[in-house]
Amino acid sequence: MKLSVSELKKTYAEKVAVDSVSFEMESGSTVGLLGPNGAGKTTLFYMIVGLLSSNSGTIKMDGSDIGNTNISTRSLLGLSYLPQEPSIFRKLTVKENILSALQQREDLDEKSIQKELDRLVEEFDLNDFVNTLGIKLSGGERRRTEIARSLGSNPKFVLLDEPFAGIDPIAVSELKQSIKTLNSKDIGVLISDHNVRDTMQICNHVLIINQGKIIAEGKPEHIRTDPLVKEVYLGNDFID
């Protein structure tokens, strides 16, 4: 399956925030969307998610145009979004959070729901705190629970907004493993984050946006040495 963005544009008054951006990503891949502050990456990310409408251009998933649908419809079509802000239900347990997604699916009966719940708890190593309230989870535990819950809706693509923000190095490492788990299930992951180093380490393709345009894209090892990327974003002293 493929997620395709073509000639996407967003303007505010006379300011062009995103200027005719195009890219594609396949299911099972992890793509990083990086760039300086104010470059347009958040606006682009929000248009793909469905939080902002575009002035022109198309967003297609598996060939079907989803650009005029809202965020809820995109979720039903297989485009899952995890915001930077905590999205966990704070007064529900980890188990109840995941069940809240599984119980929305019409293709699962009660027995299948329990089987999926057990599988997600095991895959994301949530057993030790499966009955803990969301409000009591650490940053890393919360993120893993949110990702497990997102899988409950059976997505084809997961969009992660600042997933590495506010968590310690151990949690970052655990989160990277969770992203690899998504890839192993043929789920595509699009990451927008200020943590350049960790984002590049987990991605197999990187997009660099500046002044509303994609100025470079490719494998992380190529992006690190790109002269223009060094000039406007990474600098000459960036070390992976």
Domain CATH for 82? 3.40.50.300
Banded model confidence at residue 240, pLDDT cuts 50, 70, 90: low
| pLDDT exceeds cutoff 90 at 143 | no
* Structural domain boundaries enclosing 223: 2-88+155-234
For residue 127, give the DSSP letter. G
Q: Which residue has the higher pLDDT, 167 or 46?
A: 46
Would residue 57 count as lying in a domain? Answer: yes
pLDDT for residue 167 = 80
Would residue 110 count as lying in a domain? Answer: no
Would residue 223 count as lying in a domain? Answer: yes
**How many CB atoms lie under 10 A from the CB of residue 84?**
15
If one counts the domains in the chain, the total is: 1
Q: Which of 91-105, 168-182, 211-225 has the lowest mean pLDDT?
A: 168-182
Would residue 138 count as lying in a domain? Answer: no
Would residue 123 count as lying in a domain? Answer: no
Q: b or e along 149-182 (b: 16 or more beta carbons within 10 Å of the residue's beta carbon)?
A: bbbbbbbbbbbbbbbbeebeeebbebbbebbebb
pLDDT for residue 53 = 94
Residue at token pair 């708890």: 121
What average pLDDT does the segment 199-216 reach?
95
Would residue 169 count as lying in a domain? Answer: yes
| pLDDT exceeds cutoff 80 at 152 | yes
Would residue 119 count as lying in a domain? Answer: no
| DSSP β-bridge partners for residue 191 | 32, 160
Q: What are residue 136's phi and psi, to 5 degrees?
A: -100, 0
| pLDDT exceeds cutoff 70 at 239 | no
What average pLDDT does the segment 5-11 reach?
96
Would residue 135 count as lying in a domain? Answer: no
Q: b or e along 50-81 (b: 16 or more beta carbons within 10 Å of the residue's beta carbon)?
A: bebebeebebebeeeebbebeeeebbeebbbb
